[in-house]
Structure 1
Amino acid sequence: MSTRMPALAVGCVNRAAPFLLLRECSKLKHLLKCVTCGREFEPEPSLYTCPHCGDRFGTLEVLYDYDRAHFDSLSPHSELGIGQFLPLLPLEGLPELPFVVGNTPLIKLEKFERRYGLKAFYLKDDGRNPTASYKDRATYVVIGKAQEWGFKTIFAASTGNAATSLAGLTAAAGLKAVVFVPARIPEGKLAQLLVYGATVLIVDGSYDDAYDLAVEVGFKKGWYCRNTAINPYLLEGKKTGALELALQLNWDVPDVVFVPVGDGTVISGICKGFMELKKIRRIDTIPAVIGVQAEGSDIVKRVFEHYIATGEIVLMDREASTIADSISAGKPRDVVKAVRYVKETGGTFLSVSDEEIGTALVSLARETGVFVEPAAAASYAGFLKMAETGDLKNKRVAVFATGNGLKDVKTAQSFVGKALRVSNDPEEAFRLLDKMETV
């Protein structure tokens, strides 16, 4: 069904009650458009992908009336967090949550600027979100849609971060979460799920197996879906990282932005955020967005290279294997948007080895005090790789760190030495320390 673009209602945030669902607020109108055939649809609870193009090629874009979109006021320290971007979110009002999502630190690191000849270097630390990952941005929007449409249970398949985000935010919102996770989920992420009270199904297989099972079961149960790419509103939450970064820099956006990539939704969202800011004339130029994949899970990169060479998007699924579990995806679901959007920004994709990821994780922690998980370290590893070529000289650069290191301490420990064990004898401690100082 194709319809005209309805009017966009804006400027309706009630700052006196920032954590209540604002049913008095005029509805924000939007349409859904298939990325392949271009058909447009009006939103409805059961519509996730284009019925004509399928789950992979039929992912949907959320469209707004950009000529009418404006913000009354914005602040990098807003008590609304990403809720202050409501005019560019597909929500009637703010979700019923007792805490802020977003407002994560943007850390300026001058020593990196000097070392690599940059005009500026920024680290966006999204491990500071409520459940310690970037995925809270997407879950925020999903919670809002579930509340609008009356769903009580939300399901998702995840390598860990999306599941823990869903478990934590549903607990806060008084909703139920059912999550499907692969057998190799890190212990820290599994612990979060169980503590939050989610129903957890550990699937004998990969993330892709968990994804397919979740869809089969969740839809038959009539639950709301938080699966990557299938739900078009996830990307709308993930684009807020770009909106927030631009706001924190007073709309003077970087030249180059590095993002870790698995399924492709995070990078698609960040690209869309920048593109929308340009459409509403908040920024003049769009940063080149660089997608960084693990070498053992670089399907989106391969599809992108084929797309640049031929103009065609061809799926290249294969088994994925990497220490960076959060970006391990052998069957990436948002590949169409990812490759098209990155091309539109003038960006590209590159891959890094597990060794480079581990080394980047440790060096980032030791130089900045920011402890990230392997997937988040991938974007920094990609930055280091490109910096070595000299292509970033005199550029303003931002790196998205998408998850906290405490989510996967086992992998982090494999890249560092062991702690020293001593008795409670001070002399033994002195001898050991003196020996270390002479090495």
Structure 2
Amino acid sequence: MKHVKYGQCVKCGRTYSAAPDLTTCECGGILDIVYDYEYIKTRLTKEKLAARQERSMWRYRELLPIADSTKPTSLRVGWSPLYEEPRLAEILGLKRLWVKDDGQNPTASLKDRASAMAVAKAQEAGAQVIACSSTGNAASSLAGNAAAAGLATYIFVPSRAPKGKVAQLMTFGATVVSVQGSYEETFELSKQAIDRWGWYNRNAAINPYLSEGKKTVSLEIMEQLGWQAPDYIAISVGDGCTIAGLWKGLKDLYAIGFIDRLPRLISAQAAGCCPLNRAIETGEDWRPMEENTLADSIAVGVPRNADKALMAIRESNGLTVNVSDEEIMAAQKLLGRTCGVFGEPAGVTGAAGVKKLCEAGVIGKNDTVVSVVTGNGLKDVANAIKSCGEPISIPSDMDRLLSAFAERHIAVD
């Protein structure tokens, strides 16, 4: 890979050859993939990119750590829609607002981007089995992308994982281990199993290539905005890999001259599990927290990608915001009723954060914002029903319909 220099530890700076099965540094630090930007500039231009028919994350091959001979994965991952939402912008008091609906990926979450990269690198490594631990979305995305490529998967999830996500895993043919414990305990068991049997490791904080897959969401946002950077990009944060990838993509584009300024990031976490935001806000080292939120996909009390995530927030002069479960579910309804976008609780946490920052006057009428919805609401219908309530249920009788409307104060013209 002429465009890739090496993997470099974010803690000690040690470098490693960019082999397909690259993991962490000997010091325990996470690696960052370093590119030869001058070489990339000779291979990629805005005009060349615009002429491409490929509408997936693989349209950005020159900015991805894959060999020239590596074929795109089978499922169409990426190029999700970016909707401008003037009505919601007006409600929130923003100049302009866009919603990036990454719940439209094949297994209905942004995690497909990381899993597609994991499958590509596993194939480069000649692996036949991939494994990971997950709160749900990474698991289902890996199982789906691996199934399409003919690879076997072993998936470890905490027992609290929503049934919709577990159903995806089973349908995709994964061997699923439901761990009776926290995500931290789930991660540790997956690590032991991977080490014992030598499976390809898809765990995001171990495998440095996964952030490179996730960064494609920011490459798409910038291209869809005509390379004009917004003031802010808001995203939900759990283990830190997604916000780190988002920032990496923006820095890549800045380094090759595709954008002339960098947006500020908004790190949105659930108030019941916000160890990364708490570290930023207090100026102290991050400390573990309980996983006390219904937003299961970001309920990570021991974030495995803390170094990169904290670096991204600080380098971007970013904002942190912690939202309650009630604020998350209110944002889910607001997005649905104003934008027609149905996000799962973790998927709309970024939008909940934007709403809270607008109400506090931190961002406002002169600002432009992109909010990334990271997962589809059908992943967790139980909480959506709890929040929105049950439908009207009556026999086929007009009098009963009129009574039901009157009881609910529904006025029909």
TM interval, short-chain normalised? over 0.9
Q: Report the alpha carbon displacement of residue 36 of structure 1 after superposing the two structures with TM.
A: 0.6
Given residue 142 of structure 2, which amino acid in structure 1 is its aligned partner? Answer: L
Aligned residue for 1:132, secondary structure, equals coil
Aligned residue for 2:178, secondary structure, equals strand
Asked whether the equivalents of residues 240 and 273 of structure 1 are also in contact (C-alpha less than 8 Å), the reply is yes
Asked if 1:404 corresponds to 2:380, the answer is no
- The alpha-carbon distance between structure 1 residues 337 and 76, as it changes in their structure 2 partners (threshold 3 A), is farther
Q: Report the alpha carbon displacement of residue 222 of structure 1 after superposing the two structures with TM.
A: 0.8
Out of 193, 196, 213, the position equivalent to 2:172 is 196
Distance 1:428 1:291 in 2: 48
Asked if 1:79 corresponds to 2:50, the answer is no
Q: Report the alpha carbon displacement of residue 358 of structure 1 after superposing the two structures with TM.
A: 1.0
Distance 1:248 1:77 in 2: 14
Question: Higher relative CO (CA 8 A, sep ≥ 6), structure 1 or 2?
Answer: 2
Q: TM-score, normalised by structure 2?
A: 0.94
Aligned residue for 1:338, secondary structure, equals helix
Given residue 216 of structure 2, which amino acid in structure 1 is its aligned partner? Answer: T
Q: Extract unaligned runs of 5+ from structure 1.
A: 1-5, 9-28
Distance 2:404 2:356 in 1: 37
Q: Report the alpha carbon displacement of residue 315 of structure 1 after superposing the two structures with TM.
A: 3.7
Q: Report the alpha carbon displacement of residue 112 of structure 1 after superposing the two structures with TM.
A: 2.4
Q: Report the alpha carbon displacement of residue 432 of structure 1 after superposing the two structures with TM.
A: 2.4
Aligned residue for 2:375, secondary structure, equals coil
Distance 1:90 1:138 in 2: 12
Q: Extract unaligned runs of 5+ from structure 2.
A: none
Written as runs of structure 1 = structure 2, the 5 A alignment for 1:253-264 is 253-264=229-240
1:337 paired residue number: 308
Given residue 183 of structure 2, which amino acid in structure 1 is its aligned partner? Answer: Y
Asked if 1:348 corresponds to 2:324, the answer is no
1:12 paired residue number: none
2:403 paired residue number: 431
Aligned residue for 1:414, secondary structure, equals helix
Distance 2:277 2:200 in 1: 30
1:386 paired residue number: 357
Out of 210, 228, 231, the position equivalent to 1:234 is 210
Out of 297, 305, 310, the position equivalent to 1:326 is 297
2:226 paired residue number: 250
Written as runs of structure 1 = structure 2, the 5 A alignment for 1:136-215 is 136-215=112-191
1:17 paired residue number: none
Distance 1:411 1:112 in 2: 23
Distance 1:350 1:438 in 2: 36
Aligned residue for 2:107, secondary structure, equals coil
Given residue 334 of structure 1, which amino acid in structure 2 is its aligned partner? Answer: N
Distance 1:369 1:381 in 2: 16
Q: Report the alpha carbon displacement of residue 253 of structure 1 after superposing the two structures with TM.
A: 1.3
1:376 paired residue number: 347
Distance 2:352 2:107 in 1: 24
Distance 2:148 2:101 in 1: 23
Aligned residue for 1:156, secondary structure, equals strand
Out of 80, 84, 92, the position equivalent to 1:116 is 92
Aligned residue for 1:415, secondary structure, equals helix
Distance 2:97 2:352 in 1: 14
Distance 2:74 2:277 in 1: 39
Q: Report the alpha carbon displacement of residue 120 of structure 1 after superposing the two structures with TM.
A: 1.3
- Deviation per CA, 1:318-374: give whole Å up to 9, x if none: 322110000000110011011112111111222111111111111211121111000
Given residue 408 of structure 1, which amino acid in structure 2 is its aligned partner? Answer: D
Q: Report the alpha carbon displacement of residue 408 of structure 1 after superposing the two structures with TM.
A: 0.4
Given residue 39 of structure 2, which amino acid in structure 1 is its aligned partner? Answer: R
Asked whether the equivalents of residues 21 and 122 of structure 2 are also in contact (C-alpha less than 8 Å), the reply is no
Q: Report the alpha carbon displacement of residue 420 of structure 1 after superposing the two structures with TM.
A: 1.8
Aligned residue for 2:272, secondary structure, equals helix
1:274 paired residue number: 250
- The alpha-carbon distance between structure 1 residues 231 and 392, as it changes in their structure 2 partners (threshold 3 A), is same
Given residue 396 of structure 2, which amino acid in structure 1 is its aligned partner? Answer: N
RMSD of aligned Cα (Å)? 1.7
Asked whether the equivalents of residues 79 and 100 of structure 1 are also in contact (C-alpha less than 8 Å), the reply is no
1:23 paired residue number: none
Asked whether the equivalents of residues 76 and 248 of structure 1 are also in contact (C-alpha less than 8 Å), the reply is no
Given residue 362 of structure 1, which amino acid in structure 2 is its aligned partner? Answer: K
Out of 342, 364, 371, the position equivalent to 2:335 is 364
- The alpha-carbon distance between structure 1 residues 45 and 278, as it changes in their structure 2 partners (threshold 3 A), is closer
Q: Report the alpha carbon displacement of residue 413 of structure 1 after superposing the two structures with TM.
A: 1.2
Q: TM-score, normalised by structure 1?
A: 0.89
Distance 1:273 1:47 in 2: 20
Aligned residue for 1:30, secondary structure, equals strand
Aligned residue for 1:322, secondary structure, equals coil
- Deviation per CA, 1:161-202: give whole Å up to 9, x if none: 000000100111111111000010101001100111111000
Q: Report the alpha carbon displacement of residue 45 of structure 1 after superposing the two structures with TM.
A: 4.6
Q: Report the alpha carbon displacement of residue 7 of structure 1 after superposing the two structures with TM.
A: 4.1
Distance 2:297 2:50 in 1: 31
Asked if 1:91 corresponds to 2:63, the answer is no
Greater Cα offset, 391-400 or 181-190: 391-400
Size of the aligned set, in residue pairs, is: 405
Greater Cα offset, 185-194 or 106-115: 106-115
Aligned residue for 1:133, secondary structure, equals coil
Greater Cα offset, 381-390 or 159-168: 381-390
1:14 paired residue number: none
Given residue 98 of structure 2, which amino acid in structure 1 is its aligned partner? Answer: Y
Greater Cα offset, 107-116 or 284-293: 107-116
Given residue 203 of structure 2, which amino acid in structure 1 is its aligned partner? Answer: N
- The alpha-carbon distance between structure 1 residues 112 and 419, as it changes in their structure 2 partners (threshold 3 A), is closer
Q: Report the alpha carbon displacement of residue 221 of structure 1 after superposing the two structures with TM.
A: 0.5
Asked whether the equivalents of residues 73 and 120 of structure 2 are also in contact (C-alpha less than 8 Å), the reply is no
Distance 1:410 1:433 in 2: 25
Aligned residue for 1:241, secondary structure, equals helix
